[in-house]
Structure 1
Amino acid sequence: MAHELDFAEFSFGTQVRKSPYSDAALRWGAKGFSVYNHMYIPRDFGCSTTNFWNLVNEAILCDVSVERQVEIKGPDAAKFTQMLTCRDLSKCQVGQCKYVILTDQDGGIINDPILLKLAEDRFWLSIADSDVLLWARGVALNSGMDVEISEPDVSPLQLQGPKSREVLRAAFGDAPTDLKYYWFMEYDWDGVPLIISRTGWSSELGYEIFLCDGSAGDRLWEHIMAAGGPLGLKPGHTSSIRRIEAGMLSYHADMNLANNPYELNMDRLVNLDMEADFIGKAALTRIKEQGVSQRLVGLEIEGDPFVGSNDYFWPVMKDGAQVGTVTSAIYSPRLDKNIALGLLGVEHSGIGTELKVDKLGETRGAIIVPIPFHDPKKSIAVAS
């Protein structure tokens, strides 16, 4: 284990937690960390473009322990979990995952987790960057339902890329490689409990390995890297390039509590006709009837390649007036284009609309294009 002084240059103190893999990531070349869900996440292994090509051509292993699990269990767990989300869970089976939206009483988005159904009376929400544990416990307090809500000792890794199945087989045998897209299995790794799912934040073929015993984190990381190294596996971090190419949204960047699913083109995740009630159902019914004032779009932006991602919400202009903002922007070396996601007034959100982007005082031309920017049918992740 790395000495605590090795991590000192990244540390903000004890209020931000290290993950079970932080020391391993540091040993394997992590040069920078960010904070997500009150926890450190590796964000720099030297070159984001190299990390991108490693992901799309080979495989990378990422510490995503920051995707904390909110566990909901008890006799009323299914009913309570459905109350939190606008997506119909009535046909969700044990062993299945679902991408869901959690909404508040006004239809605002609290989080967009991956749901895992471990049993008829036990669920995990693998969350994005907001305090779902507190929200769920607050809702439960006066719900009258018999549920227990906690954060279990669970720390996921992401194994992503076209060679991820080969790496998984080398590390854990054949069984996990048969998983269908958005399904998971329990796995005993020499007495250490794991859950392995065919999911991930990359839109590539990939898996998530949920460690259910944090004390084994260092050993698990080294085991996977040893098994995968001869197959081309590299340590890495979640790729902003790939997730923007795929049109995948990042909480606090592309959406927050002020946004609703309809303006983010997430209509398919809202089931107003289901019999079950959920928080925000009345509000979302009104929003659907009245329509939205803004909409998420894809943008191609002219000019020299961006260096890194945007740290500010750049204004989007039309005829000298601001009509929206760029939420996430990056240069894609595969597409050889500057690509971005943005929220624009609906009257300016049509495909082909020409606009201007104010990039910190530099004006650049832009045009609205369809999203995703690459592999629009998700054939890589789904059909591989």
Structure 2
Amino acid sequence: MIRLDSLKRTPLYDIHKKYGAKMIDFAGFEMPVQYESILKEHEAVRKNAGLFDVSHMGEIIVEGKDSEKFINYMVTNDITKITENQAMYSPMCYHNGTTVDDLLVYKFSYEKYMLVVNASNIDKDYKWLWENKNGFDVEIKDESGEISELALQGPKSQEILEKITNYDLDSLKYYHFDYMDLDGINCLVSRSGYTGEDGFEIFLKNEYVANMWEKILSVGENLGIKPAGLGARDTLRFEAGLPLYGNELSDDITPLEAGLGSFVKLDKSFIGKEALLNQKEEGLKRKIVGFEMADNAIPRHGYDVYAEGEKIGYVTTGYLSPTLKKNIGMALIKSQFATIGNEINIIIRNKPYKAFVTSKNFYKKNYKK
């Protein structure tokens, strides 16, 4: 077991302690899992706004005349389709088609991009990029330690941010970004997030993040903003059917199995294409599905899933949904059992509990297009 005092900390560690956060080990970082309660923080984001410290996420800069060509070869989505100041979501695969990571590609120009990667995968992603850069004229820099990131999420997030900037936020469309002055600080702001709600992700230098955190909470106080931890971040993304690396994606799960086929462009060249093409042609042997409990029990990550007397997979994420007030989950199961409406059994404390396969989109996303 890793001792908390041996973990990395974001520049907001002292702020989290000041706000009474319960801290946990997440991806080698000591991070806030909750402040007041996961439920109240979750509800604040759905109804008003929540502010998250996501400074543990990684930022890798790729520069050089082959940047677009190189990144397009590394990821499954087609980044030639985005313009400057636009971001794109994409998995990144190994040669066998399983997932190195899922990330966001930020395009500054054809010769400069930023990859925002999961905290647990920073070193692995950086190494994978370097191992595959031969033949491409690019420079790769890991700037994760120099950049902090805040996520302001919820239906009132624009109203709150407008209190500290003169930038026309109505003009900033979903998955686009720009530099803007926030309370006198030059920040990179993206209209994006991981909660199913409208919101913004704010990148800035470490030395300014504590003041920015306090300022946003201060101006948003009358609008119901709350500091939110990783617990609410997980329940929010899960309700919106968004995958989490280590749960719905991993080095054992392909993007096709995870239901991310729309982000896999098989008409271009990329690492893992041949394996994914074969998997698609042969038919998926297993899939990530949503499910809802019929019996009164809460599913958890790792629980076995059975059907017709055989083990068919396992739960990747499970919760009592704060918004829907239902026990729901996602599971990786054999494809022949993945039809919506099929009955499955979740094994909880050695006892089977009945559930039914559903769509993974439990909650309708409220992004501003």
Pairwise TM-score range, normalised by the shorter structure: over 0.9
Pick aligned residue for 1:272 from 259, 266, 274? 266
Quick check: 2:165–2:181 contact (8 Å CA) kept in 1?
no
Write the distance in 1 (CA, Å) between the matches of 2:36 and 2:238.
20
Pick aligned residue for 2:307 from 295, 312, 318? 318
Is 2:367 the partner of 1:381?
Answer: yes
Pick aligned residue for 1:248 from 232, 242, 246? 242
Quick check: 1:297–1:371 contact (8 Å CA) kept in 2?
yes
C-alpha deviations, 1:42-101, integer Å up to 9, x for none? 212132111111110110100001111111111111111111111111121110011111
Write the distance in 1 (CA, Å) between the matches of 2:170 and 2:32.
26
Quick check: 1:68–1:155 contact (8 Å CA) kept in 2?
no
Structure-1 residue corresponding to 2:319: 330
Structure-2 residue corresponding to 1:183: 176
How far did 1:115 drift? 1.1
Structure-2 residue corresponding to 1:154: 147
C-alpha deviations, 1:10-39, integer Å up to 9, x for none? 8332xx321122221221221123322x33
Structure-2 residue corresponding to 1:358: 347
Which AA in structure 1 matches 2:318? A
- Secondary structure in structure 2 of the residue aligned to 1:82: helix
Write the distance in 2 (CA, Å) between the matches of 1:40 and 1:139.
32
Write the distance in 1 (CA, Å) between the matches of 2:108 and 2:177.
9
How far did 1:246 drift? 0.9
Structure-1 residue corresponding to 2:357: 368
Structure-2 residue corresponding to 1:5: none
Write the distance in 1 (CA, Å) between the matches of 2:361 and 2:90.
19
- Kindly report which structure 2 residues correspond to 1:161-176, keeping only aligned pairs within 5 A, or say none: 161-176=154-169
Structure-2 residue corresponding to 1:4: none
Structure-1 residue corresponding to 2:222: 230
Structure-2 residue corresponding to 1:6: none
List alignment gaps of at least 5 residues for structure 1: 1-8
- Secondary structure in structure 1 of the residue aligned to 2:281: helix
CA distance 1:190–1:169, change in 2 (3 Å): closer
Q: Which moved more, 1:198-207 or 1:22-31?
A: 22-31
CA distance 1:178–1:20, change in 2 (3 Å): farther
Write the distance in 2 (CA, Å) between the matches of 1:46 and 1:10.
24
Structure-2 residue corresponding to 1:28: 19
Which AA in structure 1 matches 2:243? L
- Secondary structure in structure 2 of the residue aligned to 1:100: strand
Write the distance in 2 (CA, Å) between the matches of 1:79 and 1:369.
39
- Secondary structure in structure 1 of the residue aligned to 2:252: coil
Is 2:121 the partner of 1:135?
Answer: no
Write the distance in 1 (CA, Å) between the matches of 2:3 and 2:236.
26
Measured on the aligned residues, the alpha-carbon RMSD in Å equals: 1.8
Which AA in structure 2 matches 1:247? G
- Secondary structure in structure 1 of the residue aligned to 2:220: helix
Normalised to the residue count of structure 1, the TM-score between the two structures is 0.89
Pick aligned residue for 1:56 from 41, 46, 51? 46
Quick check: 1:31–1:46 contact (8 Å CA) kept in 2?
no
- Kindly report which structure 2 residues correspond to 1:289-304, keeping only aligned pairs within 5 A, or say none: 289-304=281-296
Structure-2 residue corresponding to 1:3: none
Which AA in structure 2 matches 1:146? D
Write the distance in 2 (CA, Å) between the matches of 1:64 and 1:337.
28
Structure-2 residue corresponding to 1:73: 63
**Alignment identity in percent?**
29
Write the distance in 2 (CA, Å) between the matches of 1:333 and 1:272.
38
How far did 1:204 drift? 0.5
How far did 1:182 drift? 0.5
Quick check: 1:176–1:185 contact (8 Å CA) kept in 2?
no
- Secondary structure in structure 2 of the residue aligned to 1:133: helix
